[in-house]
């Protein structure tokens, strides 16, 4: 019989709706039940594409005996961290403070007042490698709660007070200057892996936000070292197993330093960010590899993640059926030499094995290999390789596919909108721009209410109950601003303004300019979460700074500019110290130092060829954070277009900084030069 999760919209929660555990969703009613029953709370946090979440669910939450114990002694709450990033952030901070590490599934025991007192992540069903079994943990917590409740309450109260008293080193309200950005570049150089690309050791995550900083820093300063780190890292990732060599798109991270073996889940946010990174790398260098990867990643998102409603699903699982009924990580993606022969025949299988690095020993488990792209692909016949790839992709499509989390997350769709809009514009792919418009329409139609308040998620056309957090407002505004620049439709600038007005009114500390991850009127947790550092995607704090800065450049809105510069104070403090973890903030700081530049394109009509040439040139500018307004002299949709006439009846481009403009030009080459000087 389904439990209370059967009524939720989250695919992760719905995966647990038939557990014998009597799950509650996060709610006031669950904590009221804990108070009435005198039981402690088990809080279990995960997400649908999390491999170890599935493992623990199968081992413990689907086990009748374990479930009976949980139901008898605990009030059990299950949370999808992607729906409730605020709940996840607050308790993950406690887990990391107590244990020195974190991860998912996250397992936290709480008092009925939501105060944490015992922490962990995955617990096995039997003791293993120094870890207690889950049953041992449950029995220990139950015993402590029954026999030493005052002591437990004291511990919980102290932890909660410690969390509440933590403060971020904000660093004042002054944006970083040349010195701080140079120090950040030096710090990245020290952590760079020159043999393999990327930063640090295993596991290795795609450094999307850091690469955006490196590209912008090179564009502003000409620093060749910054460009080289960006280029080499992007090439190593694109040639490695972390990139899907058949279907396009990136896995979450590499378990090794060489980008060979990925953790196979594919997340929307990773692919949106990396699609934009490779498009920007192409824009800076003309790299054919970057062009191909940007387009293949965009096509992957549209083909495999777009939902019937026009938005983009959150993720594809790492696991899938290996053909024997077992769910195995990577089963959909890996190949053995024998599997190549079955699809291609002996001769082409040998060719494919050489081309993709498939060996008898394998690079993954049980003799299977993750496909990679060697440096010497130019020695292979291009037509033959195209045929091999098409046949392998068709054969792979017959395998049981990984599960898809169809939940629409506003923030991640905002990132996808920006990536698809720009990639479509750069490479003359109007279908990609249309896909971005479809997702934007869905967000406006379903996620925004009449007061422009944003809902975090939806699924199957049904909006979720959870309020948007800062990253939702910021990333959706970022997507809308990119759409405005690409399409010349000022309505997207207006929608971005509505969202950013909420940021100023509900997320910003009016005195310091610091930002919070949740709104002032959001549900009160034991701590109001606040984190300026990047994780898998830009932090809400720095994403908001970027969107506020772009909006101010488009409109001249001084409150938005001032808020952006105040928010960048934290980048001044953290950028030189931990540049790997505040890459997007550094990228925004580069735009702030450069202006950012404001480009107004006026023409007799948006379909006029000369106007389109100027517009395309402006979009391809590498000037950090440049914004583009497109319209006719009579248009009132973009403030940048005011009093911008044609020049002798010809389309014209105006390049400005802080609303002070150079002489207009009708020549795309002169416009290009003006945007690279």
pLDDT in tens, 201-229: 999 999 999 999 999 999 999 999 999 99
Return mean pLDDT, the chain: 94
Q: What is the DSSP string of 636-675?
A: -S-GGGTT---BTTB-EEEEEETTEEPPPBS-HHHHHHHT
pLDDT at 326 over 90: no
pLDDT at 162: 84
Going by pLDDT thresholds of 50, 70 and 90, the confidence category of residue 167 is low
Q: How far is CA 509 from CA 168, 172, 240, 512, 522, in A?
A: 13, 13, 43, 6, 15
Contact 449, 410 (CB under 8 A): no
Cis ω on the peptide bond leading into residue 203 (within 30° of 0)? yes
Contact 458, 408 (CB under 8 A): yes
pLDDT at 482: 98
β partners of residue 409: 457
pLDDT at 208: 98
Going by pLDDT thresholds of 50, 70 and 90, the confidence category of residue 173 is confident
Per-residue pLDDT reduced to its tens digit, 258-286:
999 999 999 999 999 999 999 999 999 99
User: What is the mean predicted confidence (pLDDT) over 74-83?
Assistant: 96
Question: Which two structure tokens, joined as six digits, stand for 238?
Answer: 């694109």
pLDDT at 634 over 80: yes
Rounded Cα distance between 646 and 649, Å, is 5
pLDDT at 168 over 90: no
Going by pLDDT thresholds of 50, 70 and 90, the confidence category of residue 540 is very high
pLDDT at 303 over 70: yes
Per-residue pLDDT reduced to its tens digit, 15-51:
999 999 999 999 999 999 999 999 999 999 999 888 8
Dihedral sign (CA 493, 495, 497, 499): negative
pLDDT at 285: 98
CA 300 to chain centre: 16
User: What is the mean predicted confidence (pLDDT) over 168-183?
Assistant: 85
Instruction: Using alpha carbons, select from 540, 670, 561 the residue that is nearest to residue 617.
Output: 670
β partners of residue 199: 192
Contact 206, 276 (CB under 8 A): no
Contact 107, 140 (CB under 8 A): no
User: What is the mean predicted confidence (pLDDT) over 125-133?
Assistant: 87
Per-residue pLDDT reduced to its tens digit, 560-590:
999 999 999 999 999 999 999 999 999 999 9
Q: Which of the residue ranges 255-259, 505-509, 605-609, 641-645 would you say has the lowest mean pLDDT?
A: 605-609
Q: Which of the residue ranges 56-65, 95-104, 327-336, 624-633 would you say has the lowest mean pLDDT?
A: 95-104
Query: Under DSSP, is residue 614 helix (H, G, I), strand (E, B) or coil?
Result: helix
Going by pLDDT thresholds of 50, 70 and 90, the confidence category of residue 128 is confident
Per-residue pLDDT reduced to its tens digit, 370-410:
999 987 766 788 899 999 999 999 999 999 999 999 999 99
Going by pLDDT thresholds of 50, 70 and 90, the confidence category of residue 661 is confident
Classify burial at 639, counting beta carbons within 10 Å of its beta carbon; exposed 0-12, middle 13-18, buried 19 or more: middle
Dihedral sign (CA 516, 521, 522, 524): positive
pLDDT at 374: 80
Going by pLDDT thresholds of 50, 70 and 90, the confidence category of residue 1 is low
CATH 1.10.287.370 holds for 178-317+404-594: no
Q: What is the DSSP string of 443-470?
A: IIIIIB-TT--BBSEEETTEE-SSBP-H
β partners of residue 266: 316
User: What is the mean predicted confidence (pLDDT) over 67-83?
Assistant: 96
Instruction: Using alpha carbons, select from 415, 445, 424 the residue that is nearest to residue 305.
Output: 415
Per-residue pLDDT reduced to its tens digit, 443-472:
999 999 999 999 999 999 999 999 999 999
Classify burial at 380, counting beta carbons within 10 Å of its beta carbon; exposed 0-12, middle 13-18, buried 19 or more: middle
Rounded Cα distance between 337 and 468, Å, is 48
pLDDT at 169 over 70: no
Axis crossing angle, helix 268-285 with helix 224-239, rounded to the nearest 10: 130
DSSP state of 325: S
4-165 CATH, one of 3.40.50.10860, 3.90.226.10, 1.10.3720.10, 3.40.30.10: 3.40.30.10
Contacts 24+ apart (CB under 8 A), 96-105: 97/159, 97/162, 97/163, 98/159, 103/52, 104/45, 104/46, 104/47, 104/50, 104/52, 104/53, 105/44, 105/45, 105/46, 105/50, 105/52, 105/53, 105/56
> What pTM was estimated for this model as a whole?
0.95
């Amino acid at each position: 019989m389904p439990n209370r999760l059967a009524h939720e919209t989250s695919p992760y929660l719905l995966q647990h709706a038939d557990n014998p555990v009597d799950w509650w969703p996060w709610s006031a009613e669950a904590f009221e039940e804990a108070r009435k029953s005198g039981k402690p709370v088990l809080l279990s946090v995960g997400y649908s594409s999390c491999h170890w979440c599935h493992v623990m669910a199968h081992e413990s939450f689907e086990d009748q005996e374990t479930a009976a114990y949980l139901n008898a002694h605990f009030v059990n709450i299950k949370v999808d961290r992607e729906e409730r990033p605020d709940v996840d952030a607050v308790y993950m901070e406690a887990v990391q403070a107590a244990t020195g590490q974190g991860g998912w599934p996250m397992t936290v025991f709480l008092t009925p007042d939501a105060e944490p007192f015992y922490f962990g992540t995955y617990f096995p069903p039997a003791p293993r490698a120094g870890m207690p079994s889950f049953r041992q943990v449950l029995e220990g917590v139950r015993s402590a709660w029954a026999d030493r409740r005052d002591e437990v309450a004291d511990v919980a109260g102290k932890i909660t007070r410690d969390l509440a008293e933590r403060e971020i080193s904000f660093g004042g309200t002054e944006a970083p200057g040349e010195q701080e950005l140079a120090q950040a570049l030096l710090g990245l150089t020290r952590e760079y892996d020159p043999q393999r690309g990327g930063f640090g050791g295993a596991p290795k995550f795609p450094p999307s936000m850091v690469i955006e900083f490196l590209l912008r820093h090179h564009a502003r300063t000409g620093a060749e070292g910054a460009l080289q780190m960006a280029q080499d890292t992007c090439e190593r990732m694109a040639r490695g197993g972390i990139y899907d060599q058949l279907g396009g798109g990136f896995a979450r991270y590499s378990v090794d330093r060489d980008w060979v073996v990925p953790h196979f889940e594919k997340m929307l946010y990773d692919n949106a960010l990396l699609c934009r990174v490779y498009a920007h790398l192409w824009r800076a260098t003309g790299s054919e590899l970057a062009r191909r990867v940007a387009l293949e990643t965009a096509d992957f998102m549209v083909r495999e993640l777009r939902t019937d409603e026009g938005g983009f699903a959150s993720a594809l699982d790492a696991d899938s059926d290996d053909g024997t009924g077992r769910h195995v990580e990577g089963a959909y993606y890996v190949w053995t030499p024998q599997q190549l022969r079955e699809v291609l025949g002996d001769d082409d299988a040998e060719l494919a094995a050489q081309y993709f690095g498939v060996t008898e020993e394998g690079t993954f488990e049980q003799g299977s290999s993750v496909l990679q792209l060697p440096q010497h692909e130019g020695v292979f016949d291009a037509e033959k390789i195209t045929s091999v790839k098409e046949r392998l992709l068709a054969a792979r499509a017959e395998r049981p596919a990984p599960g898809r989390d169809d939940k629409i997350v506003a923030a991640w769709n905002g990132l996808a909108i920006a990536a698809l809009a720009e990639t479509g514009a750069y490479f003359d792919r109007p279908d990609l721009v249309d896909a971005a418009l479809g997702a934007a329409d869905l967000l406006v139609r379903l996620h925004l209410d009449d007061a422009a308040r944003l809902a975090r998620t939806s699924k199957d056309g049904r909006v979720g109950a959870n309020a948007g957090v800062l990253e939702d407002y910021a990333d959706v505004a970022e997507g809308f601003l990119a759409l405005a620049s690409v399409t010349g439709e000022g309505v997207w600038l207006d929608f971005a303004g509505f969202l950013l007005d909420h940021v100023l009114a509900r997320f910003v500390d009016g005195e310091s300019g610091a930002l919070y991850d949740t709104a002032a009127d959001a549900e009160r947790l034991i701590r109001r979460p606040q984190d300026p550092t990047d994780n898998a995607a830009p932090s809400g704090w720095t994403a908001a700074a970027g969107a506020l800065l772009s909006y101010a450049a488009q409109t001249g809105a001084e409150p938005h500019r001032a808020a952006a510069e105040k928010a960048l104070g934290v980048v001044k403090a953290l950028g030189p110290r931990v540049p790997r973890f505040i890459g997007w903030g550094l990228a925004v700081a580069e735009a702030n130092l450069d202006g950012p530049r404001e480009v107004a394109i006026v023409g007799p009509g948006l379909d006029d060829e000369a106007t389109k040439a100027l517009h395309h040139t402006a979009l391809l500018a590498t000037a950090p954070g440049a914004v583009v307004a497109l319209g006719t002299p009579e248009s009132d949709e973009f403030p940048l277009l005011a009093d911008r006439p044609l020049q002798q009846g010809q389309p014209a481009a105006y390049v400005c900084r802080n609303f002070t403009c150079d002489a207009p030009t009708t020549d795309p080459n002169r416009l290009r030069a003006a945007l690279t000087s």
